[in-house]
Structure 1
Amino acid sequence: MILAPTIRSHIEDYIKQQSYKLQHFANICEINVGTISAIINGTRPIAMNQLDQITSGMGLKKGYFYEMYAIEFFVKAAPDWRRLEPFLYRCAELNKLDCIKKVVIEVTEDRMYTSELFKVAENMYNKEMKPAAFILYECVAECEKYQHSERLALCQYRIFLLSCCSDQKVSERAAARFEPFVDRLEEEYKLDALKDLGNLYSAVHDFERLYPLTYKMENLAKSMKIYENKDNVSVKRNAIYPIFVYEGYSLIMRASCYSRIGKYEEALQCTLNYHQLIVTNPTEEDLLFINKFKKWGEINTYLFKLKLGKNEVLQDYIERVEDDGEELVIALFNIIQAANRFKFNINFLLGKYKDKIELIHIGSNREYSAQNWDTILVKFFYELAVYHLSRSNYDMGMIALIRSIEISNYINNDSAMIKCVNLFGEYRIFASEEIRTKYKHILQLKYIV
């Protein structure tokens, strides 16, 4: 039987091929010659730093032996955490995810290292080693799937966050898997989880799920504020934001729910409530968010008055946001939507901000999650298309409609795509040959035609 080569045999072969003395090779690797000898003879296991030094000394790419190391020390032998932990980090740094999968499947069979793996996953998550952290979270969750532990819930929360992406269907499936675990989370993590779920439901227009979630988040934040005010002991905060911020976000989300069904007076009341949030002895961080809520409250007061048909607020509304790129886009979307509904002319505004509209791109870097922003852009360009097409500005309308179709396809939003396709069909006769070619190409990619 031919034995599979080992790391030690590779080292021996290399030394022979190069006609090195053991001492010379040890000097190249900057490792004690006795240590090198013991490694080759199999009387001493290879530590991770020694493996990297030897790999470098042999002129090989860093991580060259990691697959073999995983098999020799963690699959065929009982794993030692002192070697396993640094191995996981090195693999994460080099993006050797297959090595991590192979090892953690083996070591989680007896659940001996579940707690340690969870700690490593959290550390990797915080260090932005997220693909590697995702693998560890899934393994830990699998080990604890029959338990009602906070650790299992936190794993599922991290898996949800790491699963969310531009594809809204994938994100919705991730939310459905995670939602049963929300109530098992520690309260501060639960606040963040409710906010993250709320952002997703808002992005995919699932207002039936969003509406009750806003009350759950508001009530939890209020109860935690009472507890926080009674306890003057300073403790590390697990929640991303100050507790009162979640109360404000819950009201913003609820206002969007009311707006969706045309209850603009109720949306105005929610806006007034977060505009006037009070915090006792606010910190600098608190003041930052208080000012944000005041700004958003003022802007959204104009918005909901506009949605009630009061176009006299239009100039104040646009002036309040015109120096803020993303808020300007939101304001223009709302104005275009109102113009379509109430049939008033906004050509002067569209002409004024023409250049900025052309520079709009997917992906938000600020207040909006990427998913929410991309959904907003789909609706923005759809409403802009409706505005232009209904006024016989066919070229501009078709350009806007194609952009909406492109983004709908990118985020895999079927309902938005269907609306766009229906609108294109209505005005197809006015589309240029270039627009028709683009349209056909997008739909071919979508496997519609």
Structure 2
Amino acid sequence: MMATDKKHVVIIGGGIIGLTTAYELSKHFKVTLVEKEKEVCLGASFQNGGVINVESITPVNSYLSFSGVLKSSLISLVSSTPSNTFLRPSALLQPNFFLWVKHFFLNTSQERILYHSKGMMEMGSAIKPLVEELFQDLRLKRAEHNLHYTPGLLLSKVSDPSLTVSNKKKMFDEIFPKNYSIGADLEQIKSSSGIHGVEEYNYGCIELNNITVNTRSLGLSLKRKLLERKVEFIEGEVSQVITNEDEVQGLKLKDGGLVAGDLYVVSAGYQSSRILKNIEISIPLMPIKAYSLHLPSSRAAKNWKYAVHIDSSVAGLFTPYREGVDKHELRVTGIRDMDGDDPTLRLERVKHLTEVAERFTGDNWRQEEVRVWCGIMPVSPDDFPVIGGTRRYSNLFLNVGHGFRGTAYSLPSARLLSQLLLSRLDIEQERTRFCFNPKFADPSRFGI
């Protein structure tokens, strides 16, 4: 065992980010994880899409128009027209909202978009080996966690498919050449895909290396294995971070309890902003609410070859769940609402997503069996997580801001944080190569 035996790391947050962080750090440190809920993965990790998009290279700044969101929100408010993203006044009251907007616009140039695309590609290349390593190390059963290599398919309707492909290639080919499909090739893909109602879609992109996984079941298995490895789990909500001038000294919980360690990691999703505000650290995270519908028995899941993202009145991500030989389920996720930290499940948004689900699954959709869920994701202004140490407190580290890619980015983020922490403490005698370049995730880019 390394000399880190005596170092005690306290992690705040028991979603998939906090759990994978605990998994990596428990190899070198004594670890305590603090989670406010009675069980892990009850927030954004509970019923998310479960697609590990290895080939994702398009940061939110490349496709989200803030003016477009304002316009579509106003139209939707007046006419009840469905929209992908809805901005509510409550979002303006969030801590650091205008700081987020400032950094969002600072990262909309082509130069910045390509910079972050490169970072996404580096992180993506680390995902597959780390997933395989985790499942082998913990001896997890793949089917029970919906771990499958399931290619992704993106479908859109565009005015000029050839021009769209040309523009995409011009923008992103230097980072990673994607498999775009139009014309006869796309028609063949659609006809063999098992998907209903996509005849009019004329632009596609296949992502051959994607993975699907059930985030919630993976999180529960991680907790069981971490308990076996003597990781301590404490149920409690952090009410105060206790500090001196340059160090965190402990955490005060709402029930009056105290948790102390040598090192601290904040991995509490969108709640991280509130926790850090207490110690005068402003982190620009936008809480964005997504919805999902889970159909526990689905012929569509059996027949579909792809995890499919379809642009419609609201975009839907259709993920097949095959967690047994005869068990076929389907999950549909979508909608990105800037609704502040309000966890309310809004029925009109459920209705919009349900209409999309029914359209593309034919008569296979049975609404009475569907499990409906919404969760809040912490999205950073440049769509890249914030990972590393803070300037102000020498023993405080961050692993937050993963947005819609929490499951995908969880293992590379945790590995990088572990490598950074060991490097900061000057413990490892031989420097190992970082799993991806830490400059992309450095908290200092937001002055932290």
* TM-score for the superposition, normalised by structure 2: 0.19
* TM-score for the superposition, normalised by structure 1: 0.19
Larger Rg over CA atoms:
1
- RCO higher in 1 or 2 (8 Å CA, sep ≥ 6)? 2
Greater fraction strand: 2
